[in-house]
Amino acid sequence: MQLPQIGYIDLVISCLPVLLVGIIFYRWKANSKELIIATLRMIGQLIAIGFVLVYLFKETSSWLGLLVMSIMLIAAGWIAMRPLADKSLSHIGDLALSLTVGCGSILAIIIVLVLDLSPWYQPRFVIPLAGMLLANTMNSLSLSGERFETEVKAGVLLETARNKAFYTAMIPQINGLLAVGLVALPGMMTGQILSGVSPLVAVRYQIVIMVAILCSSAFSTAWYLTTRAKKVSA
């Protein structure tokens, strides 16, 4: 099965509803400037990474793949910190380390034990997998950090603040597990089916990804909140 080709005009048409979203943002006094910047950045970043991936997929250097993933890691830490009050370098270090612990451990299990890649650093597999884990875990860290700061400011006990923040961060992940297959078909599974892969094969891959996202989010969030609680109590 050959995928339908999406041309430049088709891309423009697909983006037209964003104008209506912008009108809602403007009329309801939301940050319409942030919407415009985020949309333009999304388009620019995806075009740029498309060219980068074309080059990377032709290369076999493990160092180049690690460099790209390091950049992704730092960017994820910086984005996760965006809604939080503490903008210090030590804080972004905590976020980056938490992402490394959670995403790194789960990614290693997938590429070494589950997929049994040889060589293990094949960019075609490792970079998309790392991206999915980092993106979801990054959101969990933002949610947990924001809730933790709110609870601490309210004078709640650190252990209680930690527990509430962890639960808040896990809500989207649990909802995702409950909804998959009933409410939504995840992007990876949809892409595989559209490209002609058997739905049963796509399902197995998606189960691996869903479990990986859940675990990387939980491990990273637990590490991050433990670190933050220790620093607050010091």
Domain locations in the chain as residue ranges: 1-56, 60-233
Phi then psi dihedrals of residue 104, to 5 deg: -65, -45
What pLDDT is attached to residue 139?
A: 95
Torsion from C-alpha of 72, 204, 142, 88, nearest 10 degrees:
-30
Distances (CA, A) of 125 to 24, 50, 109, 113: 39, 15, 13, 14
Q: Which amino acid is at 229?
A: A
What pLDDT is attached to residue 225?
A: 96
What pLDDT is attached to residue 223?
A: 97
How far apart (Å, rounded) are the C-alpha atoms in residues 192 and 1?
Answer: 11
pLDDT tens, per residue, the chain with 234 residues: 566 778 889 999 999 999 999 999 998 988 889 999 999 999 999 999 888 888 877 776 778 878 888 999 999 999 999 889 888 889 999 999 999 999 999 999 999 899 888 877 788 888 889 999 999 999 999 999 999 999 999 999 999 999 999 999 999 999 989 988 877 777 777 777 777 778 888 888 889 999 999 999 999 999 999 999 999 887
